[in-house]
Amino acid sequence: MSSTHSTQAGFLPPFELRRLIRPVFAPDRNPTDDRSQPPQQGPSKNPVIRSVDGHGQLLWVGSNDGRVKGLDIKAHPAPSRFAHTRVASDTARLTDAVNPQPRPHSVSGRLSKPSSPRQPESGFPSQEDIIDTSCFQDCQVFPATDKSKLKAVEKLILVPMVGLAIILSEGTVTFHSITDLQPCPSSSFPFIRGVSAVTLDEHTYNQNNIQSSNQPDDVLMCVIKKKSIFLYLLSMNGVQQVHEVAFASATFQCLLRGSTLLLSDIEQYYLISLEDQPPQVMPLLPISQSSVPVPDDPTVTSSQATRHRPSMAAIPNSQEFLLASHTGSTCLGIFVSSSGDPSRGTLEWPSNPRSVAVDLNHVLALLFNGTIEIHLLATQELVHVISLPDGLDPRSLASAKFGISLPGESHTSQLNTVPFSLEARPLPSCSPSSLKAKSPTREACLTAGTHSRILLVGRDALYALATRTFLAELETLIRQNRWDDALLFAGRSSDSLQRATSSTPSPTRRSQTRRSELDSSGQVTQLHYIYQKISLHYLVECRFEEAGNLWFQGNGDPRIFIRLFPLLVANNLCKTDTLKIFSGLEEMVRDVKSAEELITINLVRNYSPHIKPDVDTALPTVDLKAQLQERARQVLLRYLKRWRRDRLLKGGASDSNRHLDSIIDTALVQLLSERRQVDPEAYQTLRQILERPNSCVFAEIEPVLLENKCFCILAEIYLKRQNFSEAFDIWAKLHDKVYEDDDFLYDLNRMASVLLQCEQVDFVIKYAIWMASLDRHLAVKILVEAKVAHELNVDATFESLREVSQEAAELYLEEAILRDECREGVNGKRKSDGLLDGQAADRLVNLRTKLILGYLDKLKGLLRISAEEGPSPTILFFRNLVDEFMKNAEDPEPKHQSFVDFLLQASPPDGPDHQTSSQLSDALTTRAKLLVCLDQSDSNDRANYDAQQIRSIIEDIGGSAELLAVERAMVYSKIGLHRPALSLLALTLKDIRSAETYSLQHGTILSSGQRLGLMGKGGRSARGGGRGGRETGETTDTLIGILFDLLINSSASSASAARQVRLLLARHPARIPLHSSLERLPENWPLDPLLLAPYLSRAIRKSCHLSHEATIVKAIALGNHISLAVACDDLLLLPSQKD
C-alpha cells in the first residue's frame, strides 16, 4: 500500500488507510496460516459484504447470506508497544469522538474469539499492529433452511438515537433492536414491503451528541417504492407514516435533506421538493453524458453499465449535493444546491468512480484504477491519492455517518487545566537540555488516536479511511520538530474557524447553532494549546519574537512570560499565585528557566567547546548574550503592550482580572521606564499609561521610576494620589538641579496653584519660602492668598522669608499689611462705635513697624561709610541730591518744589558700573517705600507704627541730618515733635513747600499725587494706607505759627529765610496773629506792597471781622437770654392762674 502527496506535501496525509478486519466472514483458523498463505484467486464461497454501518467503537457488517456480524474495535495490547509521553488533544470536532458504546451481547450470549493481528515486519510498529477487531455478535437475521434462498442484507442503517437498526433486504424494510438485532414488535414496527430505496434525513447526522439526551427527537426516514414516496417518523415507541407523494420511478439511490429529495435511476439524477403538491421533479444530470462506449479496463471485470452506475453524496453542514456524471474519457463531480443550481467548482476523475463519499473537508472517490482520490472540498484541489492493498477486491465506500473511533492515543486529557504554582521553580537537578529539540524517534512513528466516517468495503475485508484528529496531526508534527509546518496547518484551521464563525447562519441552519458553538469552542481551545506548546519550544531555541507572538495567539497567561525575568518587580505581585495551565504543558512550563538561563544554555549548546576560553567570558558570546537579553526584554514589552491593548478593546479591567491587570501594568511600566534613554517613544507610552486609568501597584513602580529618573512622571503620580509633600520634594530638587529630567518645564505656577488650595500650613510655608528665591512675587501671593493664609504667623513667616530673600520678606509684609488694612476697614465700618478692634490694630502697628525697620536696615547698609573705602555710592548720590535741592532753594527765583517731588524726578546716573546703578535704583525704591509707610496716618489718635523705636533707629543712621530729613520729620510728627520736624524741613533741608504741607495737613507731608508717585516708584505692592492728614492734635494755625517762628528766628542769618517769611505771610495772613507777628518783624523790613501790605490789610480785616462777629454773637446771646426769661415768667404765673 502506498500513497502520494499533492499540495499538502509539507504536512501529514489527510487520510490513512487502516485495516479493521480481513477477512470478515472467513471461518476461524490459525491467524499465522492466514498470513502465511497468499490471497486466493478466483471466486470464493465465503459470504460477501453487502452493507456496513457503525458508531463509537462498534461495527455491524451485513452479508449476502443474511448474516450481520458485530465487531468491536479496540487497541491491541501488544507488549512491543511503546509508552507514549506526548502531549496532544482530540477536540477538533466535539461530536466526532463518540464515546465507546457498551459491548452488546449476541443472541447466544457468547463473544467470538478475537483474531490476532499480523506482526510488524520491521522494527517500527505498523498501523495495523494496534487494532484488534473482535466479534461480539454473529447473528443470522433472516434464517433459512435452504441456502439457495438466503436473503442478502442489502442495506444496514443504524439509528442509535432510538435504538434501532434498519435493514433492507429483497425490497422489505425491517426494524431490529440495535443491541441484539432481534426484530422489533410488528405492532409498532411493521414491515415495509415493495421498497426500492431507503434513507434517513441527513439532518439526523448533524444533531448534537446523540447520547446526551434522554428523550431524543424523532428521526425522519424516506422510503421509495415503485409508485410512491413515503416519509416516516421513527421513535423508540414505533414508526409512523407522516407523508406520501405519488411518484413513479425505478430508483437506484436516494438522499434526503429536509424536504429535498435527491434520487437517481440508472440513467438520470432527479431533485424533488416534497413540500410542493404535486411534487416538483427537476431532472439534473444524466449518469453518463457520453454516447461513445468506453473500453473496459483490463483489470476490471465489471460491465460497461456497471461502471456507469450513479454516485452521489450529501455535503455535510450544507444544502448541497455532489453528483458524478460520466463524460467519456473522464468523470465530472458536479455540486448542486437544494434548488438545483450549480455551486462551488467542478471535480474531475480519470474514470467513473465506483463510489464517492464526503466528509467535512474532503471528497473521496473510489476509482476503478485501484486508487482513492481525495480532493479538498473548499478548493476542489487534489491533495492525496491512496493506492489500495493488493487482493482487496474493493466494492464501495461506505459512510458511517455517526463516526467510529479507532485505537490510538486520545490526547484529550492534555487539554485539561491543572493548577500551577508560580512558586515552583525548576529543580536544580534538571538537565540543561531537558527541553532541547530532539530528533524524531520511534515514538514519533506511533499512530495517534484517529476517527473515521468513511469505510472502504472489499469483498470480505474492511478498511477505515481514518483522519487524524486535528491535534493528533499537529502533535505528530511537533514531535518531529516540524514547528513551522504545524503552525501553517494550525493557521489554516484558524482561518477556516474565523470564516465559519463570522458568517451568519441561515434560518434553515439554526438547529446547528449549538453544535457550531461547541465545535468552535473546542477548536479554539486546541489552537490555544498548540500555540502555547510551540511557543515554549521557541523559547528554548531563543526565538523570542515568535514565542511571544504565539503565546499571545494562544491566550497564554502573561505571568508565565513575566516569570522569565526574575528582576521585574511584577514578580513580587504574582510569586504566590496559582494559575491554570494545560496539563500537557505543565512539565514544559516547570522546566522553563529564566530568559538569561535559556540564552546561556542555547549559547553553550551552539558554541561550546569551540569558542575560547568559554562562553561566559569570550567577547563575541558576551555581546551576543547581551543582544539576546535585550531582544527578549523588547519582545516581552511588545507582548505586554499587545495584551493590554487587547484587554482595553474588550472592555478594560474587571473585578475578575484586576489582579492580573495590576501585574501587567506594573511590569509594563518598569520595562518602558528602563528604555527611556534609548527609546523616546517608550517614554511617551509610559506617560500615556500612567496619565490614564491603570492598575499599577504604586509601591512597586515607585522605586523603579526613581531609579530610571522618571521624576516628572513620578511627581504627577504623587500629585494624583494627594501626596503633595513627595511631589513638591521632586519638583524642588528638579529646580535646584539635584535631579535632572529633560521633561521638566520649570513651571512654578503649577506648584503655586496647588499650594493656594492646600490646607497644610507647614507644607505651604515650607515651599512658599523655598519659592521666594526663585519668584518672590509668586511666593508672597501664596502666603497671602492661600486657604491657610489666615492661620500663618506673619512674624515667624517674615523671619523665615528674610533668611531666604529680604525683598520677598518686605513684599510679604507689605501685602500682609494691605490685607489687614482692608480687613480692618471693613470691620471698622461694621463697628457701631466707629473704633477698630484694639488687638488687630496693635498687630497692624507691629507689622508696619517691622516693615519700616526693614527698610531702614536696608538703607543703613546702603548709606554706610567705610574707613577704608569712604562713603558709599548711595550716600554720595543722596548727598548730591540734597545739595542740589538746597542750592535751588537759595535761588532768588525758586521753583517752589518740594524735596519729595525732586526725589521723584531723580534717577541713577548712567555709567558703566551696573552694580552701582543697581544699588542706587534699589536705594531710590526702598526710600520711596519708606516714605509711603512713614507718612501713613489714621483718622484717630492711634499711631500707625512705633514711632519711638523708629526714631531711635533713624537717628542712628550715619550721614548728615538733611539726608533723611523728610523721613525724620515724618517720624517726629507721629510723636508730636512738630517744631523739630518743621525745623528739619524748613531750616535743615530748606523745603518750605513740605513744611507748609506739613502744617496744613496736620503733620502729614505727602500729598495724594506724591503718594501715587512714590507708590509707582516703589512698585505696586508698596502701597500705603494713609487717608489724609489727622484731624486731631495741633491745629493748622498752631503749626503755621511754629513755622513762622522758626523762619523769623533764622531770617537774620539767612536772606532766603527772610524771603520765605514774606511768602508765608502773604500766603497765610489769616493764620498768623497780627499782634505777635508785628512785634517780631524786623524793623528794617520795608512795607513791601507785594508781601507785607497784603498781609497787614488782611490781618486788620480779619481782626475787624472777628470783632463784628463777636458783637453779633453777643447780641444773639442777649436775645436768647431775654426769650428764656419771658418764658420762665410765664411758667411761674401759670399755677397762680389755675388757683
**What pLDDT, in 10s, does the model give residues 233-245?**
999 899 999 998 8
The C-alpha atoms of residue 47 and residue 26 are separated, in whole angstroms, by 8
pTM: 0.65
- Identify which of 409-418, 613-622, 678-687 has the greatest average pLDDT: 678-687
The C-alpha atoms of residue 837 and residue 113 are separated, in whole angstroms, by 121
- Identify which of 476-490, 632-646, 900-914 has the greatest average pLDDT: 632-646
pLDDT confidence band for 172 (50 / 70 / 90) = very high
Cell of 34: 492466514
pLDDT confidence band for 684 (50 / 70 / 90) = very high
At 101, is the secondary structure helix, strand, or coil?
coil
pLDDT confidence band for 90 (50 / 70 / 90) = very low
Specify whether the backbone of 181 is left (phi greater than 0), alpha (psi in -120 to 50) or beta.
left
Cβ distance 676 to 710 under 8 Å?
yes
| Residue that is written with C-alpha cell 484558524 in the block | 494
Is the bond preceding 505 in cis, omega lying within 30 degrees of 0? no
Q: How confident is the model over 178-182, as a mean pLDDT? A: 89
Cβ distance 54 to 404 under 8 Å?
yes
pLDDT value, residue 9: 42
Kindly list the distances between the CA atom of residue 464 and the CA atoms of 73, 102, 406, 774, 864, in Å, as whole numbers in the listed order: 11, 21, 9, 90, 118
pLDDT value, residue 88: 30
Average pLDDT of the chain to the nearest whole number: 79
pLDDT value, residue 820: 78
The C-alpha atoms of residue 501 and residue 534 are separated, in whole angstroms, by 25
Q: Which residues of 303-315 are buried (b: 16+ CB within 10 A; e: fewer)?
A: eeeebbbbbbbbb
Cite the DSSP H helix spans in 983-1091.
992-1000, 1008-1018, 1036-1051, 1055-1067, 1074-1080
The C-alpha atoms of residue 176 and residue 658 are separated, in whole angstroms, by 59
Residues 686, 690, 693, CA angle at the centre, nearest 5°? 135
pLDDT confidence band for 373 (50 / 70 / 90) = very high
pLDDT confidence band for 425 (50 / 70 / 90) = low
Q: Is the pLDDT of residue 1035 over 70?
A: yes
What 8-state DSSP symbol labels residue 28? Answer: P
pLDDT value, residue 76: 60
pLDDT value, residue 1092: 65
Q: Is the pLDDT of residue 662 over 60?
A: yes
Residue partners of 790: CB distance under 8 A and separation at least 6: none
Q: How confident is the model over 94-106, as a mean pLDDT? A: 35
C-alpha torsion angle, residues 1046, 1049, 1052, 1057 (rounded to 10): 10
pLDDT confidence band for 97 (50 / 70 / 90) = very low
pLDDT value, residue 230: 92
pLDDT confidence band for 1030 (50 / 70 / 90) = low
Map out the domains of the chain as residue ranges: 3-33+45-413, 481-679, 872-1090
pLDDT value, residue 1103: 77
The C-alpha atoms of residue 36 and residue 22 are separated, in whole angstroms, by 14
How many CB atoms sit inside 10 A of residue 870's CB?
Answer: 9
pLDDT value, residue 11: 58
Cell of 994: 513740605
pLDDT confidence band for 363 (50 / 70 / 90) = very high
Cβ neighbourhood burial of 477 (10 Å; 0-12, 13-18, 19+): buried
Dump pLDDT digits (tens) for 903-931.
Answer: 888 888 877 677 888 888 888 888 888 88
The C-alpha atoms of residue 659 and residue 169 are separated, in whole angstroms, by 68
Q: How confident is the model over 441-459, as a mean pLDDT? A: 66
Instruction: Enumerate the β-bridge partners of residue 167.
Output: 156, 174
pLDDT value, residue 669: 95
Dump pLDDT digits (tens) for 185-201.
Answer: 999 999 999 999 999 99
| Residue that is written with C-alpha cell 501594568 in the block | 665
Dump pLDDT digits (tens) for 717-750.
Answer: 999 999 999 999 999 999 999 999 988 888 899 9
pLDDT value, residue 402: 86
pLDDT value, residue 528: 93
pLDDT value, residue 882: 87
The C-alpha atoms of residue 95 and residue 208 are separated, in whole angstroms, by 7
Q: Is the pLDDT of residue 1024 over 90?
A: no
pLDDT value, residue 117: 35
Q: What are phi and psi of 1087, to 5 degrees?
A: -80, 80
The C-alpha atoms of residue 517 and residue 510 are separated, in whole angstroms, by 11
**Amino acid at the residue 226:** K
The C-alpha atoms of residue 633 and residue 629 are separated, in whole angstroms, by 6
Cβ distance 811 to 777 under 8 Å?
yes
Cell of 726: 513627595
What 8-state DSSP symbol labels residue 333? Answer: E
What 8-state DSSP symbol labels residue 217? Answer: P
pLDDT confidence band for 685 (50 / 70 / 90) = very high
% of the chain with per-residue pLDDT over 90: 30
Which homologous superfamily does the CATH classification assign to the domain defined by 3-33+45-413? YVTN repeat-like/Quinoprotein amine dehydrogenase (2.130.10.10)
